[in-house]
A and B are shown apart, each in its own frame.
Chain A
Amino acid sequence: MPKFPGIKGIFLDEDPLIEQGSKRLRGIGIPDCGLKKSDLKKDESAYIDAKYIRKSPPELPEVSEPTVVRHFTRLSSWNMCVDTVFYPLGSCTMKYNPKINEKIASLENIKNLHPLTPAGLIQPVLKIVYDFNEILCGLTGLAEFGFAPQAGAAGEFAGLKIIKKYFDLKGENRKTILVPDSSHGTNPASSVLAGFTPVEIKTGKAGTLDAEELKKFVSKDAAGIMITNPNTFGVFEKDIKKIAEIMHNNGSFVYMDGANFNAFLGSVKVSDMGIDLIQLNLHKTFSTPHGGGGPGNGAIGVVESLREFLPVPYVKVGGKSTGVEKDSGEKADGGNKSNNRKDNSYSRQVYELSEDKKNSIGRMTPFLCNFAVVLRAYAYLLSLGRENIGSVSEIAVLNANYVKKKLGKILSGSDPFEEGLCMHECVFSDKAIEENGVSTIELAKLLIDYGFHPPTVYFPKNIHGAIMIEPTETESVRTLDNFIKAVKEIKFKTKKSKAVKSPQKTKVGRVNEVLANKQPVFKY
């Protein structure tokens, strides 16, 4: 039966591209390669190893160019993403990514950059990494960042390896890392991977780690503490300075999971809280499209005493390069004021890729870093400007508290931290919706039909049927009001029979989660 796209609005049916083809149809013409088939036949193995020669031609879609364009444009219209809907996924900053970042990362000379290009030919690239390090040091008060980790958890791993190596060199055998239950789930996992045993500390009713409680766990066995601040309930660890002091007095390090940096970016320096190491998820806080496995950058920042432990290679300033510009036209002069433009002579800083860090934990990636992520983060910060960086966290916190207060009235009795303020995200239990017969998962699925990506559900685990919302600073009050209105309607108007079937307005309706978990089918 023929299908007629566009008749009822969005076309929600589409055959795989390979089934849309016609035999011998070609979308583009490829120039003759100059070899005749008969030439090849004589002795194929002269060109290609026999084991790589196909017995039959590859099965490729035989389609015209417009078919391809329409196919992928249609598919993209089914995508629920931050460019189409509000994406309040708590515990994992998913903010709108300004398009200027993409524009810059897509420049021809950036996207075609070969990772083995010699340092002398990519001076501007190295300068960006070098300058970005200085910006991050300025924002955190730490001494240096390593950009090798390609994800947040890889940054945690690097940080813990650094702590491990520090004590190994000191000849101290410290076996444990203290991890409050309010920290991110990756924290204990990274500790194990780096060779430590994580020791869980239960947090109090206020959702924060109590300094007195911490003291019970401190011993010479503790290499450090991994603390997420604001913690995974979206609550600021008020005792952080006291916690750092207790750990430092014990000769231990304080590692902060920086995944929630969006909550205080530009407002507080982590060095003022007594933090020794932090990973910054550049892809979250500094806006790079991410999720589904990458790309990311979990830059690891350390205090002065740990600089020599950072992963290699890193960018350092070498000598100066001097000479005379050949062209008389406008030329970049590297910002050097002593440059005399009249005679076209220049003096530029030279950036080098160096492996010279005497206690380095080694290499974590084949090359320097996920440069395009660093570049987007750099573009994001420069387009904001130093004077506006603080407003990112101010508005993120304001937005989260707006949702907390307004939804708190609708979901009465469901806010476990009703008394205080939250930071960049707020969390509710399922108490109020359950009274109306809707479960957390049903609320999440129903929200999809209202045109919202669901918030994080059933996490944190210690809150019953948790619903965790992180609006981020990028959302307007109008969007937040619409979201709140949707939750209100779901709570008061939805019938159970509708809830269990939702979502109904999407390409794919309610999926069988049990089957998807037990028998995942991976295909193109």
Chain B
Amino acid sequence: MIKGGSFYFSKSHEWVGRDSNNKYHIGISDFAQSELGDIVYVSLPEAGKTYKKDDKIGEIESVKSVSEIYAPVELKVISVNSKLNDTPELINQDPKEAGFIAEVEISNDSDAEGLMDENAYKTFIADSRHE
């Protein structure tokens, strides 16, 4: 699916992944899933709908709390990962592959590239933990 692709991260802990066929997927980061704890429910975005950057596109409920999922970039949802309806724990198990949220279309490739890359995101997490 996204294997071998490149990942970009938002400050609200979503990722955008571009695979070798130039297709885009979105999800939440490994750090985000570990902070949330066991995920019990995911409310997915609407297929076919266009969202602006930072729009609320869904919700994740864990045993601790309910958190919102934001659009990391301006995007159009092509299809959602409906497996999450019955097995939301896929996000805990494999946030960057089987636990993706949706396949999306992005108008500008540069939007994704404008986010943090893996290294920058790692530094961002380390900094925010020390706050």
Measured CA separation A517–B89 after assembly (Å): 12
A32 contacts partner chain B, Cβ-Cβ < 8 Å? no
B38 contacts partner chain A, Cβ-Cβ < 8 Å? yes
Our pick among A461, A513, A514, A518 for the contact of B65 (Cβ within 8 Å) is A461
B41–A517 CB distance below 8 A: yes
Measured CA separation A514–B92 after assembly (Å): 12
The 8 A CB mask of B21-65 against A (1 = contact, 0 = none) is 000000000000000011011000000000000000000010111
The 8 A CB mask of A457-470 against B (1 = contact, 0 = none) is 11101000000000
A514–B40 CB distance below 8 A: yes
Measured CA separation A459–B67 after assembly (Å): 12
Chain B residue nearest to A457 in the complex (CB): B64
Most chain B beta carbons < 10 A, residue from A457, A458, A513, A518: A518
The 8 A CB mask of A259-291 against B (1 = contact, 0 = none) is 000000000000000000000000000000000
Our pick among A458, A459, A461, A514 for the contact of B38 (Cβ within 8 Å) is A514
A461 / chain B contacts, CB cutoff of 8 Å = 65, 67
Measured CA separation A513–B89 after assembly (Å): 13
Measured CA separation A517–B64 after assembly (Å): 11
Most chain A beta carbons < 10 A, residue from B37, B41, B67: B37
B37 / chain A contacts, CB cutoff of 8 Å = 441
Chain B residue nearest to A519 in the complex (CB): B40
Measured CA separation A518–B84 after assembly (Å): 12
A458 / chain B contacts, CB cutoff of 8 Å = 64-65
Interface residue ranges of B75-90 to A (CB < 8 Å):
89
Measured CA separation A458–B65 after assembly (Å): 7
Q: Could you say which interface size class chain A belongs to? A: under 10
Chain A residue nearest to B92 in the complex (CB): A514
The 8 A CB mask of A408-431 against B (1 = contact, 0 = none) is 000000000000000000000000
B64–A518 CB distance below 8 A: no
A459 / chain B contacts, CB cutoff of 8 Å = 65
A513 / chain B contacts, CB cutoff of 8 Å = 38, 63
Chain A residue nearest to B63 in the complex (CB): A513
Measured CA separation A115–B8 after assembly (Å): 62
Chain B residue nearest to A458 in the complex (CB): B64
Q: How far is the CB of A102 from chain B (nearest CB, A)?
A: 34
A517 / chain B contacts, CB cutoff of 8 Å = 40-41, 61, 63
B89 / chain A contacts, CB cutoff of 8 Å = 514
B41 / chain A contacts, CB cutoff of 8 Å = 517-518
Interface residue ranges of A480-521 to B (CB < 8 Å):
513-514, 517-518
Measured CA separation A461–B67 after assembly (Å): 9
B63 / chain A contacts, CB cutoff of 8 Å = 513-514, 517
A518 / chain B contacts, CB cutoff of 8 Å = 40-41
B67 / chain A contacts, CB cutoff of 8 Å = 461
Measured CA separation A67–B65 after assembly (Å): 41
Chain B residue nearest to A205 in the complex (CB): B131
Q: How far is the CB of A462 from chain B (nearest CB, A)?
A: 11
B40 / chain A contacts, CB cutoff of 8 Å = 514, 517-518
Chain B residue nearest to A461 in the complex (CB): B65
Interface residue ranges of A439-459 to B (CB < 8 Å):
441, 457-459
Measured CA separation A242–B12 after assembly (Å): 32
Measured CA separation A461–B63 after assembly (Å): 13
Q: How far is the CB of B43 from chain A (nearest CB, A)?
A: 14
Q: How far is the CB of A236 from chain B (nearest CB, A)?
A: 23
Q: How far is the CB of A257 from chain B (nearest CB, A)?
A: 19
Most chain A beta carbons < 10 A, residue from B38, B64, B89: B64
Q: How far is the CB of B127 from chain A (nearest CB, A)?
A: 14
Measured CA separation A514–B87 after assembly (Å): 12
Measured CA separation A517–B67 after assembly (Å): 16
B61 / chain A contacts, CB cutoff of 8 Å = 517
The 8 A CB mask of A235-264 against B (1 = contact, 0 = none) is 000000000000000000000000000000
Measured CA separation A461–B65 after assembly (Å): 8
Measured CA separation A461–B12 after assembly (Å): 14
Measured CA separation A441–B63 after assembly (Å): 10
Chain B residue nearest to A513 in the complex (CB): B63
Q: How far is the CB of A164 from chain B (nearest CB, A)?
A: 23
Q: How far is the CB of B37 from chain A (nearest CB, A)?
A: 8
Q: How far is the CB of B74 from chain A (nearest CB, A)?
A: 20
Chain A residue nearest to B61 in the complex (CB): A517
The 8 A CB mask of A12-24 against B (1 = contact, 0 = none) is 0000000000000
Q: How far is the CB of B35 from chain A (nearest CB, A)?
A: 8
The 8 A CB mask of A182-193 against B (1 = contact, 0 = none) is 000000000000
Q: Residues on B close to A: CB < 8 A?
A: 37-38, 40-41, 61, 63-65, 67, 89
Q: State the 10 A-B residue pairs at the shortest beta-carbon distance, nearest first.
A: A517-B40, A458-B64, A513-B63, A514-B38, A518-B40, A458-B65, A461-B65, A514-B40, A517-B63, A514-B63
Other CB < 8 Å A-B pairs besides A513-B63, A517-B40, 6 of them? A459-B65, A514-B38, A514-B63, A514-B89, A517-B41, A517-B63
Could you list some 20 contacts between A and B, CB below 8 A? A441-B37, A441-B64, A457-B64, A458-B64, A458-B65, A459-B65, A461-B65, A461-B67, A513-B38, A513-B63, A514-B38, A514-B40, A514-B63, A514-B89, A517-B40, A517-B41, A517-B61, A517-B63, A518-B40, A518-B41
